[in-house]
Structure 1
Amino acid sequence: MDRPRWFRLQALHRVSVAQLDALANELPDASVWAGALLACEPMKRTSRNPSKKKSLQRLVRTALRCWDTDKGWCAIAELQMRGSPRTLASAKRLARSASWRRRSLGLYIASQLTQRKGASSSEYAVEETHKLLLDGLHDQHLDVVRAAVSGLGHRPHPSALADLVRWSAHPHTSLRWNVAVTLGRYEDPIAIEALLRLAVDPDDAVRDWATFGLGSLQSADTPEIRAALWRNLDDQDADVRGEALVGLAVRHDERAVDHLVEHLGPQCLVYDLDAAQALAVPRLLSPLQAIAGALKDEDKEGYWFGRLQAAIEACRTESCDS
């Protein structure tokens, strides 16, 4: 299964930290994925999270001492869920520190600061955390800027857009990647222009997220976007190709149907099945059913099989209605 798309979509739908950690361990550059996506959307915390019992000061120490590790990110995740005047004051102090790591931590806390209300939670101190994040865009240290860019993907602010576009041309791949992730949340022509540039970035991961942003997060449907998606359908990277296909499918581009008719088979990826479901055309029903009919019993479970069933149902419904 093409795990990056599963990981990306589940993160956007708030999976638990336990699920995220389990999947991150199966991915290359696990700490990069876990860190970036823990800072991608507010996560539900599991009752088994040991960080819940730690004091604010101890969580801060753990986050700093275990920087960029699973343990450190779990401490940050717990800090983000403790929205209160005290936690906000701590984030502000950290953001003013002479240490780049402390400043980064302050921004990571601010980026998703939420307050628990029973089983649910709500954003906390949005206006004040926006100010911290916007100021962070002008920091002298790259890692602090990355934290600010990441945070402004969770808490978008129109005033950030010009700086985000400026940072999209930075020579450091890690920062361009953060910008590619964040710009998907900004439905503005200049954000789309930047994503179009990032969709041809030399780095595979940057192209992947820029293509995802254009194809799945942006609602705009322009000739330029379709041209970029069609071009990336022939990319050297499988995830870029997959996101391009899904982007064309959600725009009901007929070329996506032709592509799937040619490529659907037992080894197809979740991208192909998501695209088939989005298109929901009778032409795809027969090849999808052929895939299902050839499966062994032990293959009829899991996420991939669920996506296959959803694609078949979508195409069957359309076939009955036509």
Structure 2
Amino acid sequence: MSSPPEADLSTDELFARTLQGDEEDEDAWFAIWQLHHRGGEEIFQRAAAWLQSASPKERGRGANILSQLDFRHRPPERIARFVDALLPALAKEQDAAVLQAMTAALGHLGDDRRGVPALLSLREHPDAHVRFGVVMGLSRFRDAQVLQALIQLSRDSDEIVREWATFTLGSQAREVDTPELREALVDRLSESNVKIRGEALLGLALRKDARVLEPLRRVLEGPGVTTLDVEAAQALEDVSLLPLLRGHREAFNQEDEDHEFRAVLFEAIHALESLSR
């Protein structure tokens, strides 16, 4: 397999390319990815210097680069240096897009002792982009304060924040099971947003919470069933849902249906049929 063209660019060229386009520009992110792989002291120093730039774009890209720099080998002392660079910049940052990049970077760095307090301090920030970054930053941590913040954010006024907080609580933190977490997921069952509702259904099903059976049955009886709903049926392991899943299989139009949904549906049916034998 040949190397991506970014591998042949100089460090100067890669840094310049990270600034092109908007925040989600594909070529810019390929350049960031290449800097992550290339690693080393020079790239760290340049990214850290960008955190102090007058340009919001450079400050955000500095955080993007530091977030996963040297990810293949980052001893604790190196992570500490990255956090040392980020925290003072975060404390004085006002730009919402930059704060989102910085909070996500703290999550990637995984320093719970210093990163978590900084993230928690922004959980009620007035800008939804920042609160979304807080969810991303907190998603890998599991202590009680973090879980309480994620529960709070699962009730956020912004749909994207609610969706990702519910996903984090429901699926990513599936090893955690508390009454408060379950209640937060139950609260999201009434969502009109099918993704949020689906994440709540799946999170409760993974914990075998009996309260999810009837809401899940009603969803499977209606139109617009999603892969999350089917995954919840499989996770709950209640064979009474099999006829509903088989009904969706029989309604398939081979040419029009989503192949991912089809694969998830057939897997769920197979799993529940195995349980019923």
- Residues 1:237 and 2:190 are matched in the alignment: no
Local SS of the residue matching 2:34 = helix
Residues 1:295 and 2:252 are matched in the alignment: yes
Deviates most, 253-262 or 172-181: 253-262
1:123 deviates by: 4.6
Map 1:220-235 → 2, pairs under 5 A: 220-235=176-191
Unaligned runs of 5+ in 1: 1-45, 116-120
Are the counterparts in 1 of residues 201 and 229 from structure 2 also a CA contact under 8 Å? yes
Name the CA distance, whole Å, in 1 between partners of 2:22 and 2:13. Answer: 14
Compared with structure 1, are the counterparts of its residues 135 and 313 closer, same or farther at alpha carbon in structure 2 (3 Å cutoff)?
farther
Residue identity in the other structure for 2:235 = A
The one-letter amino acid of 2:83's match is: H
For 2:99, the aligned partner's letter is V
- The runs of at least 4 consecutive aligned structure 1 residues that moved more than 6 Å come to none
* CA shift in 2, pair 1:47/1:168, >3 Å: farther
Do 1:167 and 1:175's aligned partners in 2 also have CA atoms closer than 8 Å?
A: yes
Take 1:242 and 1:284, find their aligned partners in 2: how far apart are those partners?
16
TM-score where L is the length of structure 1: 0.76
What is the 5 A alignment of 1:114-263? 114=70, 121-123=72-74, 125-142=78-95, 143-158=97-112, 159-218=114-173, 219-263=175-219
Instruction: Give identity over the alignment, percent.
Output: 33
Mark the runs of 5 or more structure 2 residues left unpaired by the alignment. none
- Shift of residue 99, structure 1, vs aligned partner: 3.2
Tell me if the contact between 1:180 and 1:206 (Cα under 8 Å) persists in the aligned partners. Answer: yes
- Asked if the contact 1:299/1:305 (under 8 Å) is kept, the reply is no
Structure 1, residues 138-187: CA drift from partner, whole Å, max 9, x if none? Answer: 13333433222011222221111122111010001110111122222110
Superposition RMSD on alpha carbons, in Å? 2.3
CA deviation digits over 1:81-140, x for unaligned, max 9? 21122222322232343433322222211101136xxxxx44574332232233333133
What are the Cα deviations for residues 197-231 of structure 1, in whole angstroms up to 9, with x where unaligned?
11111111111111111111223212221111111
2:163–2:195: 8 Å Cα contact kept in structure 1?
yes
Q: Summarize the Cα distance change of 1:47–1:204 in structure 2 as closer, same or farther, 3 Å threshold.
A: farther
Counterpart residue number, 2:232:
275
Letter in 2 for 1:85: E
* AA of the residue aligned to 1:166: S
Equivalent-residue separation in structure 1 for 2:94 and 2:156 (angstroms): 23
Write the letter of the residue equivalent to 2:255: E
Aligned length: 270
Q: Which amino acid aligns with 2:118?
A: D
**In structure 2, what residue type is equivalent to 1:293?**
E
Cross-structure match for 1:57: 12
